[in-house]
Amino acid sequence: MRYLPLSEDDRRQMLAAVGAHGIDDLFGDVPASARLAAPVDLPGHQGEIAVEQAFRDFAGRNLSPASAPCFLGAGLYRHHIPAAVDHLIQRGEFLTAYTPYQPEVAQGTLQYLFEFQTQVALLTGMEVANASMYDGATACAEAVLMAVRLGKSRRRALIAGGVHPHYRDVTATYGRFADIEIVAAPPRWPETGDPAARVDGETACVVVQNPDVFGRIHDYTELGDACHRAGALLIVIVCEPVSLGAITPPGDMGADIVVGEGQSFGNATGFGGPTVGLFATHTRFIRQMPGRLVGQTVDADGRRGFVLTLSTREQHIRREKATSNICTNSGLCALAFTIHLTLLGETGLRRLAALNHANAVALADRLARVPGVEVPDGSFFNELTVRLPRPAVPVVEELAAGGVLAGVPASRLFPGAPGMEPLLILVASELTSESDMDRLTAGLREALS
Stretch 408-437 residues interacting with another protein (CB under 8 A): 408, 412, 415, 430
For another protein, the closer of residues 50 and 446 by Cβ is: 50
On the CB side of 144, CA atoms within 13 Å amount to: 33
For another protein, the closer of residues 63 and 200 by Cβ is: 63
Site for another protein in 184-243 (CB under 8 A): 217, 219
CB of 240 to another protein, least distance (A): 13
For another protein, the closer of residues 222 and 299 by Cβ is: 299
Q: Mention every residue, 6+ apart, whose C-beta is less than 8 A from residue 314.
A: 292, 322, 323, 324, 326
CB of 359 to another protein, least distance (A): 8
Site for another protein in 303-362 (CB under 8 A): 303, 305-307, 309-312, 314-322, 324-333, 335, 339, 341-349, 351-352, 354-355, 357-362
For another protein, the closer of residues 85 and 370 by Cβ is: 85
Q: Please select the residue that binds another protein; options are 397, 433, 438, 446, rule is CB under 8 A.
A: 397
Is residue 96 part of the contact set for another protein (CB under 8 A)?
A: yes
Q: Mention every residue, 6+ apart, whose C-beta is less than 8 A from residue 137.
A: 164, 166, 167, 169, 170, 171, 261, 277
d(CA 253, CA 219): 7
For another protein, the closer of residues 44 and 371 by Cβ is: 44
CB atoms under 10 Å from CB of 248, counted, come to 16
The amino acid that residue 57 corresponds to is D
For another protein, the closer of residues 200 and 274 by Cβ is: 274
CB of 297 to another protein, least distance (A): 4
Contact 245, 282 (CB under 8 A): no
Contact 137, 342 (CB under 8 A): no
Q: Binding pattern to another protein, positions 163-192, x when CB under 8 A?
A: -x-xx-xx-xxx-xxxx-------------
Site for another protein in 253-312 (CB under 8 A): 261, 268-276, 283, 286-287, 292-301, 303, 305-307, 309-312
CB of 20 to another protein, least distance (A): 7
CB of 301 to another protein, least distance (A): 6
Find the radius of gyration of the CA atoms of the chain.
Answer: 25
- Of 230, 225, 240, the residue nearest 201 (C-alpha): 230
CB of 225 to another protein, least distance (A): 17
Is residue 391 part of the contact set for another protein (CB under 8 A)?
A: no
Is residue 371 part of the contact set for another protein (CB under 8 A)?
A: no
For another protein, the closer of residues 357 and 387 by Cβ is: 357
For another protein, the closer of residues 46 and 200 by Cβ is: 46
The amino acid that residue 84 corresponds to is A
Q: Please select the residue that binds another protein; options are 160, 255, 405, 420, rule is CB under 8 A.
A: 405
| Residue 425 DSSP symbol | E
- Of 134, 108, 82, 90, the residue nearest 291 (C-alpha): 134
CB atoms under 10 Å from CB of 6, counted, come to 11
CB of 336 to another protein, least distance (A): 10
CB of 327 to another protein, least distance (A): 4
Using a 10 angstrom Cβ sphere, with 0-12 exposed, 13-18 middle and 19 or more buried, the burial of residue 309 is middle
To the nearest 10°, report the CA torsion of 197, 199, 202, 204: 160
For another protein, the closer of residues 226 and 293 by Cβ is: 293
Q: Which residues of 262-273 are buried (b: 16+ CB within 10 A; e: fewer)?
A: bbbbbbebeeee
- 3-state DSSP call for residue 278? strand
For another protein, the closer of residues 6 and 390 by Cβ is: 6
CB atoms under 10 Å from CB of 116, counted, come to 27
CB of 366 to another protein, least distance (A): 12
d(CA 72, CA 84): 25
Using a 10 angstrom Cβ sphere, with 0-12 exposed, 13-18 middle and 19 or more buried, the burial of residue 57 is exposed
How many chain residues interact with another protein (CB under 8 A)? 211
d(CA 355, CA 358): 5
CB of 171 to another protein, least distance (A): 9
Contact 300, 334 (CB under 8 A): no
Site for another protein in 17-76 (CB under 8 A): 17-20, 23, 25-31, 33-36, 39-48, 50-52, 54-67, 70, 72, 74-76
For another protein, the closer of residues 161 and 241 by Cβ is: 241
